[in-house]
Structure 1
């Protein structure tokens, strides 16, 4: 397993990993039109953000550079957000900065909804990738260490990951006399960490194995759901079978449009109360 001393952050590698992940999702279930790429100079809302916004954000130039050049999934105007992983979506930072620049949101609240319980540590070189205002999944990308922490990681993934996690014990780097430092180490130790490329491969592996299961072009569930309403029993195995019947995970054989249509038809017939957009 990799150790922190063997890992380094690469801007180009990080952007490529995110772009490749979105391309993978588009091949499986997501509409390509939902994914937007930055203009050549970066997202204007971030590059030209107000000084007071940047001061309140409190992140390093490297974090800002990264956010300004990442592709994003659009924020849904109809309220039906596109999931990039089960019951969760990635933060569209270009839109978040636009809201803040127009005084529609406070930057502190935006940090809260993307960093969750990691927010109080005020780490300038780390940033939240996911929206955690309604869900437990907290993805913290650290540009100094070159890793992503998977907060809220399902137990089966944590205990048997398809990609190698970071070996280090984060308590080893904490100052026992500094309570805040110790609490940060506690959070990091509880959230498995991976190199940035390995993290996105881990997520793709879950989709390949149909442990993460799209039930439409926007909605993703998973096999790790612990509380399933009796009326929903059998839904996930049914959808998994439909994907396999349409060639998944062999991308040379997989028929995306036919598959998604078949999934939606089956859900509407057998589970009419379940959203399958």
Structure 2
């Protein structure tokens, strides 16, 4: 693990600093913003007690082989609970938040099941470092993203081992950040979440279950129009009809969206 940060070539040689309070605030702000839309329920956003989540301890999380810095961060993060959905809420395309307060991370941790919450099972040579922790998981390791938080500098990197989105800039082989060279892009967590939030609030992205019951983020940005584009526009119209963003009737809107979903079931 790096003890001091060098200029980062992926950020115009800025020297980045890990600030756990900024990570916590960014995640909380993002979840609360999502709860204003008719998908995520505010009651499913859970905040830690003052002493932190009781199951997230050095002894319980020892099998994960993570640093004390990682464990302390996870202990004080807000989480988005899974309201009996297969993978929980979709918070970006095919991307789901990991709740480290829930099974299989409850005490005692189910280490075999916990292996499903890491992206590196098929790439043992690229095992996620001890100071790095997944904040999200992809829907199926092909669709969606594993975003990995590096606690040396507060950045997140897209695992991206199954596609061609490798970043243009690599780190030197002896740089502790060189694990990112086989991954995708690296961003500051605050910037990534702000980008996603803008997409949702502008309704370019709409999160809701599709007619099959699959949790989905619809979008209107595809170059080629298809049925999904049309469905996204229908959902946008329903949300705007219910007053988004100024005089929004959230519950009425959610009921209308659920009716739309039922009407489109095959």
Which of 237, 245, 251 pairs up with 1:241? 237
Residue of structure 2 equivalent to 1:171: 170
Distance 1:46 1:115 in 2: 23
Q: Relative to structure 1, is the Cα distance of residues 226 and 125 closer, same or farther in structure 2, using a 3 angstrom cutoff?
A: farther
Residue of structure 1 equivalent to 2:138: 132
SS at 1:234 equivalent: helix
In the alignment, does 2:52 pair up with 1:42?
yes
Per-residue CA shift, 1:199-236, capped at 9, x if unaligned? Answer: 11011012123232122599332326799986x66211
Which of 189, 196, 199 pairs up with 2:192? 199
Residue of structure 1 equivalent to 2:254: 260
Residue of structure 1 equivalent to 2:112: 106
Conserved? CA contact 1:35–1:73, under 8 Å = yes
Per-residue CA shift, 1:76-121, capped at 9, x if unaligned? Answer: 446462222233310001214634x335343761452589869833
Which of 132, 148, 164 pairs up with 2:156? 148
Distance 2:121 2:202 in 1: 28
What is the deviation of 1:151?
Answer: 4.3
- Residue ranges of structure 1 left out of the alignment (5+ in a row): 159-167
Q: 5 Å matches for 1:1-277?
A: 2-3=11-12, 5-29=14-38, 30-47=40-57, 49-50=59-60, 53-54=61-62, 56-77=63-84, 79=86, 81-96=88-103, 98-99=105-106, 101-102=107-108, 104-106=110-112, 109-113=115-119, 120-132=126-138, 134=140, 135-151=143-159, 170-175=169-174, 184-188=179-183, 191-215=184-208, 219-223=215-219, 234-248=230-244, 250=245, 252-269=246-263, 271-273=264-266
TM-score where L is the length of structure 2: 0.76
SS at 2:157 equivalent: strand
SS at 2:43 equivalent: helix
Conserved? CA contact 1:7–1:195, under 8 Å = no
Supply the RMSD in Å over aligned alpha carbons.
3.6
What is the deviation of 1:21?
Answer: 0.6
What is the deviation of 1:4?
Answer: 5.2
Distance 1:28 1:127 in 2: 28
Distance 2:36 2:70 in 1: 29
Bigger RCO of structures 1 and 2 (CA < 8 A, at least 6 apart): 1
Distance 2:235 2:122 in 1: 32
- Residue ranges of structure 2 left out of the alignment (5+ in a row): 1-9
Which range moves more in the overlay, 104-113 or 39-48?
Answer: 104-113
Distance 1:197 1:228 in 2: 31
Distance 1:82 1:2 in 2: 31
